[in-house]
């Protein structure tokens, strides 16, 4: 309570609501116990129950709208990828996670499109362990956890040409489609790109009938989404289809979709493909006598120190850029180095090419799906 009193006779308004809410009981909390009280006054911390309109940051008021500056909260940094242990658990998991996130502003739920994972982020391992216990005890949802994958991206660095002839004969009508195309890298800010792809139809003379060109593009876009070398989304590529062949009876959309997809993969593999990895900017706050230890540790993680600022209280803030893959679980490592006295903030900065040894490991781990 900031001012006034609150008891069951008061019907406060929540935020910008028009109608007051009914307060049936006012409680004071002591650990897990709550005692019913007549009311609370300014300076008290109390609790009310069964008011669905209240969410984190809501203000209850009886006069004109009151706005309060929200409390500063630490940004959730520690992440875990989670997956339901059964089909039933997967169905209930989304709704249960949404409820947990609504009551805890330091818990974030993210569906990472590039990796296909559901990732929960919190303030540390203990925080997430407690939330996963709640998920099981309160909602009956059991999940498996693992470190989240890094959301790499794929692109090319050179021009190349690709070709594929799809021919399939199974008794009756067959499938036939042949596609010749070329690929080249584009800039990241190309205005003609749609989802990272510039698609051009440079055919002439009806080598590929116009009604099959959308199927060719669909096959190419499927590879853009699924990746060609390591299973990650592709970006900044221009594809020009310049020739092909068709059959008056056997040519079908599925044949040209398959031919376009495999011709694109053929071209990408010749166009010096590279993996791009996300870099983050970090501000690490530590005691001043640990600047050397932290700087050495960050350098060992392929990071670049951008600067150091001194703060009152013998503290220092180290600004750095570092690959996300190297600091996925940095909270526990920073705690170990500083004895629990260090803290950090982190946010996405940009993408850079991965070193050849890192790219080789990621590509080696990729297991492409078999064609249906």
Question: Cβ(141)–Cβ(120) under 8 Å?
Answer: no
Tens-place pLDDT, residues 116-169: 889 999 888 889 999 999 999 999 888 999 988 888 999 999 999 999 998 887
323 alpha-carbon distance from chain centroid: 15
Place of tokens 């559901």: 118
Provide mean pLDDT across the span 339-350.
Answer: 87
Nearest to 352 by CA among 317, 304, 283: 304
CA–CA dist 353, 333 (Å, integer):
25
Within a 10 A sphere around the Cβ of 300, how many other Cβ atoms?
9
Q: 88 pLDDT exceeds 90?
A: no
Which phi and psi (to 5°) does residue 232 adopt? Answer: -115, 155
Provide mean pLDDT across the span 286-311.
Answer: 92
Q: 172 pLDDT exceeds 80?
A: no
Helix (H, G, I), strand (E, B) or coil at 73: coil
Q: What is the pLDDT of residue 370?
A: 56
For the chain, the average pLDDT equals: 88
Tens-place pLDDT, residues 35-85: 999 999 999 999 998 887 788 888 888 877 777 888 888 888 788 999 888
Strand-pair partners of 305:
320
Domains of the chain, start order: 1-71 (2.40.30.10), 78-146 (3.30.70.870), 154-271 (3.30.230.10), 275-357 (3.30.70.240)
Q: What is the pLDDT of residue 371?
A: 56
Q: Work out the pLDDT band at 372, boundaries 50, 70, 90.
A: low
Give the Å distances, CA to CA, from 219 to 108, 196, 235, 236, 355: 35, 15, 15, 17, 30
User: Which of 80-84, 112-116, 206-210 reaches the highest mean pLDDT?
Assistant: 80-84
Residue 91 tokens, joined: 């169905």
Instruction: Give every CB contact of residue 141 below 8 A, 6+ residues apart in sequence.
Output: 84, 89, 92, 93, 96, 135
Residue 328 tokens, joined: 């996925």
Q: What is the pLDDT of residue 160?
A: 93
Q: What is the pLDDT of residue 252?
A: 86
Nearest to 128 by CA among 164, 100, 90, 163: 100
Provide mean pLDDT across the span 77-98.
Answer: 85
CA–CA dist 101, 109 (Å, integer):
7
Residue 33 tokens, joined: 């116990």
Q: Work out the pLDDT band at 32, boundaries 50, 70, 90.
A: confident
Q: 87 pLDDT exceeds 80?
A: no
Q: Work out the pLDDT band at 171, boundaries 50, 70, 90.
A: low
Q: What is the pLDDT of residue 345?
A: 86
Provide mean pLDDT across the span 346-370.
Answer: 85
Give the Å distances, CA to CA, from 103 to 19, 24, 235, 258: 23, 21, 37, 48
CA–CA dist 142, 93 (Å, integer):
9
């Amino acid at each position: 309570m900031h001012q006034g009193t609150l008891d069951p006779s008061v019907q406060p308004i929540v935020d910008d609501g028009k109608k007051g809410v009914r307060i049936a009981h006012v409680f004071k909390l002591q650990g897990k116990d709550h005692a019913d009280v007549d009311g609370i006054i300014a300076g008290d911390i109390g609790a009310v129950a069964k008011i669905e309109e209240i969410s984190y940051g809501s203000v209850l008021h009886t006069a004109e709208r009151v706005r309060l500056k929200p409390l500063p909260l630490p940004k959730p940094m520690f992440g875990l990828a989670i997956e339901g242990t059964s089909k039933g658990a997967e169905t209930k998991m989304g709704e249960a996670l949404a409820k947990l996130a609504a009551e805890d502003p330091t818990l974030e739920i993210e569906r990472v499109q590039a990796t296909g994972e559901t990732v929960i982020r919190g303030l540390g391992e203990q925080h997430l362990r407690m939330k996963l216990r709640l998920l099981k005890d309160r909602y009956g949802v059991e999940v498996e956890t693992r470190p989240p994958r890094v959301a790499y991206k794929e692109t090319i660095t050179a021009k190349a040409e690709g070709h594929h002839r799809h021919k399939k004969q199974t008794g009756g009508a067959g499938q036939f489609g042949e596609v010749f195309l070329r690929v080249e890298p584009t800039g990241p800010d190309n205005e003609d790109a749609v989802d990272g792809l510039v698609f051009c139809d440079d055919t002439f003379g009806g080598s590929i009938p116009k009604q099959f060109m959308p199927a060719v593009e669909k096959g190419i876009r499927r590879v853009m989404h699924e990746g060609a070398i390591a299973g990650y989304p592709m970006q900044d590529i221009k594809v020009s289809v310049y020739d092909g062949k068709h059959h008056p009876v056997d040519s079908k959309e599925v044949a040209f979709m398959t031919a376009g997809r495999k011709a694109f993969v053929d071209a990408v593999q010749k166009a010096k493909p590279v993996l791009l990895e996300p870099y983050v900017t970090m501000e690490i706050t530590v005691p001043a006598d640990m600047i050397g230890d932290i700087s050495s540790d960050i350098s060992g993680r392929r990071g670049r120190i951008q600067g150091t600022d001194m703060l009152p209280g013998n503290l220092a803030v180290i600004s750095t850029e570092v690959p996300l893959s190297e600091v996925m679980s940095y909270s526990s490592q920073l705690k170990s180095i500083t004895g629990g006295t260090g803290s950090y903030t982190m946010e996405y900065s940009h993408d850079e090419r991965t070193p050849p040894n890192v790219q080789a490991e990621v590509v080696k781990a990729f297991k492409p799906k078999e064609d249906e």
